[in-house]
Every structure is written in C-alpha cells, then in structure tokens.
Amino acid sequence: MAYQWDRSLETGVPAIDNQHKQLVAAVNSLLDACQSGKGTAEVARTMDFLTGYTIKHFSDEEKIQKQYEYPDYAIHKRYHDAFKVTVGELTKRLIKDGPSETLINEVNISIGDWLVNHIKGDDFRMAAYVKTKIPA
Ligand SMILES: [Fe+2]
C-alpha cells in the first residue's frame, strides 16, 4: 500500500512540507522494493536513502524549532530520536531476514503510519506555532 501525499499532510511551512513530500516518496520506494521481490540489495538501497533523508529532515526541522524557541522542542526531538532508533532496528532486520510479510507490515505501521500521524499531530502543532513567529 502506497502513502498518498495530499493537502491533509500540509503544515503550511513550505521548507518542512517539501521535505515531508520527499519522505513519503522514500517510504513508498522502500515499500515498493520490499513488495516487488527486487531483492535485499534494492531494499537496502531504499532503506539507506530513507535513513539519510530522515536524519537530514529531522535535523532541519529541529533547527527551525530551536530558531523560533518552540516550547515543545525537547519532547518533539524525543519522538524524532525514537523514530530513528526504530528505522535502524527495522533496517537490521530487513537486511538479515529479508522483507517477510510480517516485516513489511511493521514497516507500514512503524514507519509509514508513524510518519503520517507524526506530521498530522506533532508537526501540525509545531508548524502552527512557527507560523505565528515567521515574519509575513
Ligand atoms: Fe517532526
């Protein structure tokens, strides 16, 4: 199942939204590699890209939060850190065991669904705050 980018995921902060779009695309590439039987090398490649892009995006997003002194920065960063651990663990298991149905299901829940829920919840709250601070 592919994740759809639509306006329900738009925070209204273009720098963040553009990266979120890329992240959703990266999750879809990973799921596609897992499901299409392209083999472990392709799964590893897409997982690698997702990992790198996640690290970059979280770092950029945290910089914005610090810049505008977002009061929930610490807890938001904890969510990011926990997700990076999840991605690392799933990468190890995908490489070791291959993309079994159970593992693909976990990728859907722990990566895809997590990301969508994080954007719609934590990121929307953060963006609403940031938008009040950005000069018009
Ligand atoms: Fe975030």
Number of Cβ within a 10 Å radius of residue 23: 22
Neighbours of ion ligand 1 (CB under 5 A): 123
- Between 38 and 112, name the one with better pLDDT: 112
Compute the distance from residue 114 Cα to the ligand 1 centre, in Å.
11
Q: In this predicted model, what pLDDT tens digit does every residue of 26-75 receive, in sequence order? A: 999 999 999 988 788 899 999 999 999 999 999 999 999 999 999 999 99
Compute the distance from residue 78 Cα to the ligand 1 centre, in Å.
10
Compute the distance from residue 50 Cα to the ligand 1 centre, in Å.
15
For residue 19, what pLDDT is reported? Answer: 97
Buried-exposed string 80-110: b where 16+ CB fall within 10 A, e elsewhere:
beebeeebeebbeebeeeebeeebbebbbee
Separation CA 38–CA 17 (nearest Å): 30
Helix (H/G/I), strand (E/B), else coil: 21: helix
11-60-134-120 Cα dihedral, nearest 10 degrees: 20
